[in-house]
Amino acid sequence: MQKRCLGCKREIARDLRECHFCGAPQSITRYYRNSVIFFIAFLAASVYGLYYLLQIANQQALNEQTQLLSETKTQSQKQLDSLQVQLDEAQAALEQANKAVAENEADQSSESAKLNQQLAKLKKALKEAENEAKKQSERAGWLSRENSRLKDELKESKAQLKEARSTSITQPKPLSDPIQ
């Protein structure tokens, strides 16, 4: 019985284990074993290569993410630092404002003390002026009373003089009235 060689396709005897032309094994399993092994090896290599590539891609993505995160962190830190500086400035300004307010209050209280002193002086001067006015008024009253007393005295004198004139015949001429 004849059959064709699995390798070279030439006619060989059926019971031959190997082709006597090309040396190819005539059992299907044995003939394709190498191919199967190669295929499996290729598949394994492919899977491993794919896995390796995926790992590299993952690592790259991770690296990129890490870098992005680090950049974001740096930027955030910068912003935070800037905010801290602004906060410090604002606090310094507030402190200065508080100090200015405190100083102003102190100035105002010393100003108010001065005003009180001036007011006390003015009150004293007013009191003195009032006393003086009272004195003057009393003096005016006294003068007025003295004036009316003098007037009364004068009237009396005039009356006496008139009486003396009317009773005296030897009087040569009437005296002129000195006060009218």
**SS3 track for 19-58:** CCCCCCECCHHHHHHHHHHHHHHHHHHHHHHHHHHHHHHH
Judged by CB under 5 A, does residue 37 bind Zn ion?
A: no
Is residue 26 within 8 Å of 36, Cβ to Cβ? Answer: no
Q: Give the three-state DSSP class for 15.
A: coil
18 in contact with Zn ion (CB under 5 A): no
Q: Does 22 bind Zn ion (CB under 5 A)?
A: yes
Q: How far is the CB of 15 from Zn ion (least distance, A)?
A: 15
Instruction: Give residues 148-177 in contact with Zn ion (rule: CB under 5 A).
Output: none
Span near Zn ion by CB under 5 A; candidates 6-14, 42-50, 86-94, 167-175 = 6-14
Distances (CA, A) of 109 to 13, 40, 101: 132, 100, 12
Contact between 8 and Zn ion per CB under 5 A: yes
Among 1-9, 89-97, 120-128, 132-140, the segment contacting Zn ion (CB under 5 A): 1-9
21 binds Zn ion (CB under 5 A): yes
In order, the DSSP letters of 64-110 are HHHHHHHHHHHHHHHHHHHHHHHHHHHHHHHHHHHHHHHHHHHHHHH
The stretch near Zn ion (CB under 5 A) out of 16-24, 60-68, 117-125, 159-167 is 16-24
Hey, which residues between 64 and 103 contact Zn ion (CB under 5 A)? none
User: What distance in Å separates the CA atoms of residue 74 and residue 118, rounded to the nearest whole number?
Assistant: 65
Q: Is 5 in the site for Zn ion (CB under 5 A)?
A: yes
Minimum distance from residue 20 beta carbon to Zn ion (Å): 8
By CB under 5 A, name the binding residues for Zn ion. Answer: 5, 7-8, 19, 21-22, 24
